[in-house]
Amino acid sequence: MAGMALAVVIVLLVVGSLIFHYLSPWYFTPLASNWSTIDFTVDVTFWITGIVFVAVNLFTAYCVVKFRHRPGHRAHYEPESSRLEFWLTAATAVGVFLMLTPGLFVWGNFVSPPEDALKFEAVGKQWHWSYRFPGQDGVLGATDVTFMTPENPLGLDPTDPNGQDDVIVASPIVHLPVNRPVHALLRSSDVLHNFTVPQFRVKMDLVPGMVTYQWFEPTVPGNYEILCEELCGIGHFAMRGKVVVEEESRFNAWLAGNPTFADTLAVPEGNAQAGAASYAVCSACHGQRGEGNVALNAPKLAGLEGWYIRRQIHNFQSGIRGAAEGDIYGAQMAPMSRTLANDTAMANVIAYIDTLPDNPTEATIFGDPEHGEKLFMTCAVCHGKDAKGIWSTNAPRLAGASDWYLKRQLMNFHDRIRGGHDDDIYGEQMHMMALTLEDEAAMEDLVAYINTLQ
């Protein structure tokens, strides 16, 4: 009786697995590259292992019933059968051969990028992506992590003439032309990462100290998410990027809109005196000394990093920030940001803000700083233990900021009033982080702790 029950369970297991496989929504995304051969090898593996799985389990169920104990029957002991062993070995060898052979051909193709492929570089860093394209000369200049600074985030060697015309994409969003093979060179500045676009099927690790690669030909225009598929620390799950696949002419226009390395080096230093005039507009809300004004909902600016202010002004100008429904104060800031007409004006005003005294702010939020300290452990990974901000993780300084502003931003990130724009990939990271705070009280505890770090 028990034998019958066991056989039924085994059969149900097989039927259940098949139903799950065919009805499950978790399967390949639609293919959007040339790598149909990779899908083929996966399908071959599925079929062969699937047939073996069904056959072995049904045979087991059959044996359990057929050879169950019955009075008057005795098992016949037959430890060796060279005939059976020969056929089992032969069938297994054929199965393994069929599963592995297509993969060898695909791998051979995968490691041989076409000569005429468009080269570009993707650089991974905890926890974001940036890119570089060769300029007119078609050659990527030399790099070294020791050259990495806020002005030179990809670490190009400033003395290498080949690098001067390289196009720098200091954003997690990259564009690629459709129907043209691309050869992606992969570089990491810290730990192992992995460059994967599920719809392209190929993936490859980024290894510090070496340049790895993959190639593919995007075949369907559209937006695709880049995932890091190598566990690379606490922010691993939030290390996303985006590929925009489009017609070659649109791609070329996009590429031309990005600065060359020489352009980025020529960005004006910023003249604080000239910036003081532009700052007059800002001072109406943010205060003469950039101290912030709670009544006008304008946060403190003094003490903020230049790279962070630049990115936020750019986001306000381009509608990445301040355009979401419900973002009342962002909507006020968006038109103000447009008073800074160009990079020079922006650099000047940033230089001026840099001269403003960074005085402590008055606390307006009183939560439980001890609980906040525990919550801050997660924030510290990007923003630093002392909340002073870390450029290489794109995380601004929090210590000394207006506490009411920090709380409002946490709530905005939580509700995607901030960070909900498709192109706001750092904001999306903060959205995912804000979701880890269970309620408003937790946010207040966290901010109360940040207040102690001034």
Nearer to ligand CUA, 183 or 236 (CB): 236
* Burial of 378 per CB tally in 10 Å (0-12, 13-18, 19+): middle
Q: Confirm if 192 and 208 have CB atoms less than 8 A apart.
A: yes
| Piece of 230-238, 250-258, 333-341, 436-444 that binds ligand CUA (CB under 6 A) | 230-238
Cβ 172 to ligand CUA, closest distance in Å?
Answer: 12
Structure-token pair, residue 357: 């005294």
Indicate the SS3 state at residue 260.
strand
174, 232, 379, 406: residue in contact with ligand CUA (rule CB under 6 A): 232
Q: Which helix (H) or strand (E) holds 20?
A: helix 2-23
- List beta partners, residue 123: 130, 187
121, 205, 230, 403: residue in contact with ligand CUA (rule CB under 6 A): 230
239 part of the interface to ligand CUA, by CB under 6 A:
yes
DSSP secondary structure code for residue 236 in this structure: G
128 part of the interface to ligand CUA, by CB under 6 A:
no
Phi-psi group of 40: left, alpha or beta (phi > 0 → left; psi -120 to 50 → alpha; rest → beta)? alpha
238 part of the interface to ligand CUA, by CB under 6 A:
no
Within 8 A by CB and 6+ apart from 152, the residues are: 158, 261, 264, 265
228, 272, 282, 334: residue in contact with ligand CUA (rule CB under 6 A): 228
List the interface residues with ligand CUA, window 168-207 (CB under 6 A).
Answer: 193
Q: What is the CA radius of gyration of the chain?
A: 29
Applying CB under 6 A, the site for ligand CUA has a residue count of 9
Nearer to ligand CUA, 230 or 403 (CB): 230
User: In terms of residues, how long is the chain?
Assistant: 454
Cβ 239 to ligand CUA, closest distance in Å?
Answer: 4
Cβ 205 to ligand CUA, closest distance in Å?
Answer: 10
Q: Confirm if 162 and 147 have CB atoms less than 8 A apart.
A: no
Cβ 431 to ligand CUA, closest distance in Å?
Answer: 18
Structure-token pair, residue 287: 């205060």
340 part of the interface to ligand CUA, by CB under 6 A:
no
Nearer to ligand CUA, 93 or 231 (CB): 231
| Piece of 154-162, 223-231, 309-317, 364-372 that binds ligand CUA (CB under 6 A) | 223-231
Residues that bind ligand CUA (CB under 6 A): 124, 127, 193, 228, 230-232, 236, 239
